[in-house]
Structure 1
Amino acid sequence: MKLSLELAPFAAAVADAARALPGRPPVPVLAGLKLEAAARQLTVAAFDYEVSAQATLAADVTDAGSVLVSGRLLSDITRTLKGKNTIDLELDGTRLVLTCGAIRYTLHTLPLEEYPSLPKTADASGTVAGSELAAAVAQVAVAAGRDDTLPVLTGIQIEIADGKLSLAATDRYRFAVRRIDWKAPSGTTDGQALVPAKALLDTAKMLADADHVDLTLPSDQGVLGMAGPARSTTMRALEGQLPNYKALWPTPDDFIASAVVDSEELTAAVKRVALVADRSTPIQLHFTQDALSLTAGSSDDAQARDRIDATFDTATGAPLTIAFNPSFLLDGLGALNAPSVIFRIVSAVKPALITGANNDGSGVGEDSLSYLLMPVRLSS
């Protein structure tokens, strides 16, 4: 194998493929990146039996071939080669020689014959814009669980129905749902899959610049596929599925109150008040006709109080107090990414629906992020 290529695209390809490298490889070869040169292009690939990633870039190939080298080392090398234009790769026996200007590296290779074949997917189920997918996954991922003893809750559920792609995640304390536009070939059936949130988030970031991303729902192999023009990945789906969020969502008739608050002001106020709240201490939100007061702490410890403007509407005409975990509330406010937020409240002890709003208080669209947050029950 012998080839020459531009350094910057090569470094980017290595970095993208290295996302799939396992932290603790079960076998030594899985710590490697596979480099395959053929037909004026180089493919860089990684696989850990759960997630695979491939990056393709143009190269001036003199001799085609494949090699397996340490992924972490190659990633470190390409990341530190600043200000160089091209890099030459040449396989010399069992060594891979990298030459970049006056810099020369000689790397040990791993046994290529022991490296597993990357999984293959069926024809694409449909197409979505890379930027929209990346934004939607990032919004929903904040609600995914991080407890590996409950693997179902560490996933993001992808569902295709009614010409839309829906993403949902929950850790039992909050539920985030987002829908985006979806283009599917005629005759494609609806379906769903539950995939690891971290893997999906990494992949969506990698494909964010793609004009289109082909998505393939799991088939008999249980593997979800995502591919852009020069990047592709697969990930093994999780067994099970999330609770049916449609059954959990309040209906418009359930709400007894709503409030519109400036997002930036609320985020800043929550952060100020949360300074006195430990992980088990909620922040209380006291809604009145034209204001929102935030309090935290206890009489036996530090306390904080803040007040910001708010528009509050309630059927009863009475003030309302509801309490939330400050970290969960801030996660939702950050994910909404809207000028204002709307709180729709059923009661002080039932989940509140938080959505984004424009400056005039109008909603930002039915496909935007919906964040259902469980309140903290206050002692009497």
Structure 2
Amino acid sequence: MRSIGEMARDSGLGVSALRFYDRAGVLVPAWVDPVSGYRWYDPGQLEEARLLARLRRAGMPLADIRLVLAGWSSADTGLVRKLLQAHVRRLEAGLSDARGEFSTLRALLERREKPMSSPRTADTRLAVSAPELAAALDAVRFAAGTDPELPMLGGVLFDIDGGTLHVVATDRYRMAVARAGADGHAGPRAQVIVPSPLADAMRALLGDEETVRLAVDGDRVTLESGDRQAAGSRVDHDFPDYRRLVQLPAGRRALVDVAVFRKAVENGPVRTSEVRGQGEAGPALSVLKVTADGAVTLCEDGDGDQDQVAVNREFLLHALAAGARERLVLEVGAPTAPVAIRRPDDESTFSLLMPVRLDT
């Protein structure tokens, strides 16, 4: 007999997926321990589980998967062939429809871009609090992207608006926002993406000085601290409108002791996710729940509870470290909403972690 863990490892289906398919009557274990509820599978079920994993990666509907599994070992495979062919036709039709929609979207995007050239920030000068800028860069740097296909995310956004400098980074899966006081900029709102290596060089300058000078001249960005400076070219792309992305509905909030909570995350239960469509193991996930009395629990398993949300455990640990406080506020909304990690004394500095869909 194979344990559910062994079955998950050898079949490409996650443990939670095996539990789901058991409850759905699609792949029922050969024996369930009546005391512990632990599932055991017959060795002959491995081939069926691997077939199920392939059909699942191909996006076949559950109703059709049931019929394929039921007819797989039959001498008459005509039904199975017809189901597979029908699903391929659905995929091809869906791909054709998607290409048509994206073609229309590209045309709309080109029409928007042609009459409007991207505004370039020029001759911007301001003084920035060095300690606040250092703290802001420390709070967001972990979230900067590294995907060469998305160069606009491969740096840190400096968003200059009046007497405030917002510092923002995101790699799509997490976002961090912080703020530093600024003075001397009386013009319209200006934005510049500082590439990550230059942002790191700027952070290294921030030491003894109380105030540093930030200048943007066309495509060149310079930070001066005393007689030293870090300078380089901006990222020649536009950053997404992060202000729209941080408008979240209120969720359950909990004040956590960072050292205690970090240890609980490091040693607590994790779920193994799957890279969708590839059948490969993804990052370890922590399933969080904030109870009505403001306590945070790490759940053993996601069971459809609307108060639970799964996040990348490594990203969560990074966000806790970047929060740079002994206590932080954890805000958890719906399972599909980002998890927010905020400072109790400064909610303008926060991190957002995108939720990860649990395998079902």
Superposed pair shares fold, TM > 0.5? yes
With the shorter chain as reference, the TM-score category is: 0.5 to 0.7
What is aligned with 1:227? 224
Residue 204 (structure 1) aligns with: 203
Structure 1 match to 2:139:
139
Q: Can you list the C-alpha shifts for 1:12-59, whole angstroms capped at 9, x where unaligned?
A: xxxxxxxxxxxxxxxxxxxxxxxxxxxxxxxxxxxxxxxxxxxxxxxx
Q: Deviations over 1:119-139 (max 9, x none)?
A: xxx866111122221221121
- The amino acid of 2:262's aligned partner reads T
1:365 maps to which of 340, 346, 357: 346
Which residue of 2 is the match for residue 326 of structure 1?
A: 313
Residue of structure 1 in register with 2:234 after alignment: 237
* Contact 2:213–2:223 (Cα < 8 Å) also in 1: yes
Paired AA for residue 169 in structure 1: A
Show CA shifts across 1:263-294 (max 9, x none). Answer: 11111111112788685231111332444322
Instruction: Find the counterpart in structure 1 of residue 166 from structure 2.
Output: 166
1:153 maps to what in 2? 153
Compare the two structures and name the one with the higher helix fraction. Answer: 2
> What's 2:283 paired with?
280
Deviations 1:52-71 (A, max 9, x none): xxxxxxxxxxxxxxxxxxxx
Q: Is the 8 A contact 1:155 1:197 kept in 2?
A: yes
**Match for residue 376 of structure 1 among 336, 343, 356:** 356
For structure 2, the residue ranges without an aligned partner over 5 or more in a row are 1-121, 273-280
| Aligned residue type for 1:260 | L
- Per the TM alignment, residue 141 of structure 1 is displaced from its structure 2 partner at its CA by 0.6
Tell me the distance in 2 between the aligned counterparts of 1:123 and 1:248.
29
Deviations along 1:210-251, whole A, 9 cap, x unmatched?
2221100232xx000111112112110001122111111234
Q: State the match for 2:297 in structure 1.
A: 293
TM-score (norm 1): 0.55
Change (3 A) 1:142 1:296: farther
Q: Are the equivalent residues in 2 in contact too, given 1:282–1:296 (CA < 8 A)?
A: no
Matched ranges for 1:300-339 at <5 A: 320-339=307-326
What is the CA–CA distance in structure 1 between the aligned matches of 2:282 and 2:332, rounded to whole Å? 24
CA gap 1:132/1:141 in 2 versus in 1, 3 angstroms? same
- 1:267 is aligned, of 262, 267, 277, to 262
The one-letter code of the counterpart of 1:288 is T
- Are the equivalent residues in 2 in contact too, given 1:130–1:204 (CA < 8 A)? no
Q: Please give the alpha-carbon distance, in whole angstroms, between the structure 1 residues aligned to 2:146 and 2:197.
A: 10
Contact 1:159 1:193 (8 Å CA) reproduced:
yes
Give the conservation status (yes or no) of the 8 Å contact 1:262–1:339: yes
CA contact (8 A) 2:151 2:237 kept: no
Cα RMSD (Å): 2.6
More strand by share: 1
**How far apart are residue 333 of structure 1 and its match?**
0.6
Counterparts in 2 of 1:150 and 1:205: CA distance versus 1, 3 Å: same
CA change 1:256–1:150 in 2 (3 A) is closer
- Residues 296 and 240 (structure 1), Cα distance of their counterparts in 2 relative to 1, 3 Å cut: farther
Secondary structure of the corresponding residue to residue 178 of structure 1: strand
Preserved CA contact (<8 Å) 2:159 2:166 = yes
Q: Distance in 2 between matches of 1:281 and 1:211?
A: 41
Conservation of the 8 A alpha-carbon contact between 1:343 and 1:352: yes
Question: Structure 1 residues 348 and 198, CA, compared in 2 at 3 Å: closer, same or farther?
Answer: same
2:128 paired residue number: 128
With over 3 angstroms needed to count, the CA separation of the structure-2 counterparts of 1:268 and 1:203, relative to structure 1, is: same
Structure 2 SS opposite 1:205:
helix
- Unpaired runs of 5+ residues, structure 1, are 1-121, 299-317, 358-363
Could you report, residue by residue, the CA deviation over 1:146-175 in whole angstroms, capped at 9, with x for unpaired residues? 223322111111011031001101000011
Conserved 8 A contact 1:344-1:352? yes
Aligned to 2:53: none
Could you tell me whether the CA contact under 8 Å between 2:269 and 2:298 is conserved in 1?
no
Q: 1:236 to 1:274 in 2, by over 3 A?
A: farther
Cα distance in 2 for residues equivalent to 1:229 and 1:124: 19
Aligned length: 229
SS in 1 for 2:322: helix
For the residues of structure 2 that align with 1:176 and 1:319, how far apart are their CA atoms?
Answer: 25
SS in 1 for 2:183: coil
Question: Who is 1:19 aligned against?
Answer: none
